[in-house]
């Protein structure tokens, strides 16, 4: 069984075998076990559910996760917030204009994807406004795939829909990049379902406030996440950060010092590659900012 929706108090659990859904509460002990995170159970979790004597359903245990997407929580009483678990692929939705996505945000998500071994692709949406060649140059140089989409012209929608067939994919990005519009263009039935829910609760136009899994008409599963403003790193030490930048790590073995920080050391192959244009300025600056801004949170 897989958790498809979490509101904090109640969880929707989907039985892949029977196709049934169950509205569940969480066993008290599991809430305590999740004390280092704001959310002990997340969408994508595979769980064990038991029926109580009162005919309620309880999540009694969580099966081991193969991976998860995690960020530093804005809640100071907790260390981290897990967005989703057991993800097969992540698509980072960005836009070059209206609004422009900060490359550092993209890099932070990518570092976490690398750390937890989740394949990721950058999707430049609103390509009818700006095709995002700057993003393409930066991230193809780093070794990532970049594709374009436009709900207005239809560019890339069919390709992205095809990629989402089978498996569990997560779409994430800042508010305003058009993520929900892309999802609705891929499968309009999702928009209809969300609209009905919003109308029922009289909440007006839908704005994603928590992660939720939707089953696509093509057979895949997609995780829709709330728009994310910031993405603080957790559980990563400064001395291992560079290995999660593929464009830095491919040159690091050639450095003169095995513990090179790639900031000031002589015979640094990473700094040399940067000077030769083999590493983009944007990516190298993101690396330096993460060392400086996040280091104190990861110690």
What is the per-residue DSSP string for 145-172?
-EEE--TTT-TTHHHHHHHTSSSEEEEE
Cβ atoms of 120 and 89 within 8 Å: the answer is: yes
- Phi first, then psi: give them for residue 102, nearest 5 degrees: -75, 125
Cβ atoms of 172 and 225 within 8 Å: the answer is: yes
151 is in an annotated binding site: no
181 is in an annotated binding site: yes
Closest residue by Cα to residue 2 from 188, 206, 18: 18
68-106 in b/e burial notation, b at 16+ Cβ within 10 A?
A: bbbbbbeeeeebbbbbbbbbbbbbbbbbbeeeebebbbb
143 is in an annotated binding site: no
**256: which DSSP letter?**
S
Measure CA of the first residue to CA of the last residue in the chain; give whole Å: 36
178 is in an annotated binding site: yes
Cβ atoms of 157 and 123 within 8 Å: the answer is: no
125 is in an annotated binding site: yes
128 is in an annotated binding site: yes
9 is in an annotated binding site: no
174 is in an annotated binding site: yes
179 is in an annotated binding site: yes
Q: Which residues are within 8 A (CB) of 47 and not within 5 positions of it... i.e. 6 or more apart?
A: 1, 2, 3, 13, 41, 59, 60, 61, 62, 63
177 is in an annotated binding site: yes
124 is in an annotated binding site: no
175 is in an annotated binding site: yes
126 is in an annotated binding site: yes
95 is in an annotated binding site: no
255 is in an annotated binding site: yes
Helix locations, the chain, DSSP H: 28-33, 103-115, 133-142, 157-163, 179-186, 188-201, 246-249, 269-275, 281-294
Binding residues for GTP: 125-128, 173-181
Binding residues: 125-128, 173-181, 255, 260, 262, 268
Binding residues for Zn(2+): 255, 260, 262, 268
């Amino acid at each position: 069984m897989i958790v498809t929706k979490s509101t904090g108090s109640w969880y929707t659990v989907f039985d892949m075998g029977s196709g049934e859904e169950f509205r569940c509460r969480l066993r008290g002990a599991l809430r305590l076990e999740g004390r280092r995170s704001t959310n002990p159970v997340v969408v994508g979790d595979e769980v064990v559910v038991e029926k109580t004597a009162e005919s309620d359903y309880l999540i009694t245990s969580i099966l081991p996760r193969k991976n998860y997407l995690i960020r530093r929580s804005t809640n100071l009483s907790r260390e981290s917030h897990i967005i989703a678990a057991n993800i097969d692929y992540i698509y980072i939705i960005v836009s070059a204009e209206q609004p422009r996505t900060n490359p550092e945000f993209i890099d932070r998500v990518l570092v976490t994807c690398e750390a937890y071994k989740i394949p990721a692709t950058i999707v430049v949406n609103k390509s009818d406004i700006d095709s995002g060649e700057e993003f393409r140059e930066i991230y193809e140089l780093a070794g990532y795939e970049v594709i374009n989409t436009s709900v207005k012209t239809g560019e890339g929608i069919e390709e992205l829909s095809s990629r989402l067939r089978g498996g569990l994919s997560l779409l994430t990005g800042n508010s305003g990049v058009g993520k929900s519009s892309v999802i609705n263009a891929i499968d309009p039935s999702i928009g209809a379902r969300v609209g009905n829910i919003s109308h029922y609760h009289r909440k007006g136009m839908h704005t994603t406030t928590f992660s939720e899994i939707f089953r696509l008409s093509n057979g895949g599963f997609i995780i829709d996440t709330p728009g994310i403003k910031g993405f603080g790193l957790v559980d990563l030490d400064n001395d291992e950060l560079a290995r999660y930048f593929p464009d830095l790590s491919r040159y690091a073995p050639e450095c003169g010092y095995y513990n090179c920080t790639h900031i000031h050391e002589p015979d640094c192959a990473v700094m040399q590659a940067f000077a030769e244009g083999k590493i983009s300025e944007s990516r190298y600056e993101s690396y330096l900012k993460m060392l400086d801004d996040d280091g104190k949170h990861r110690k």
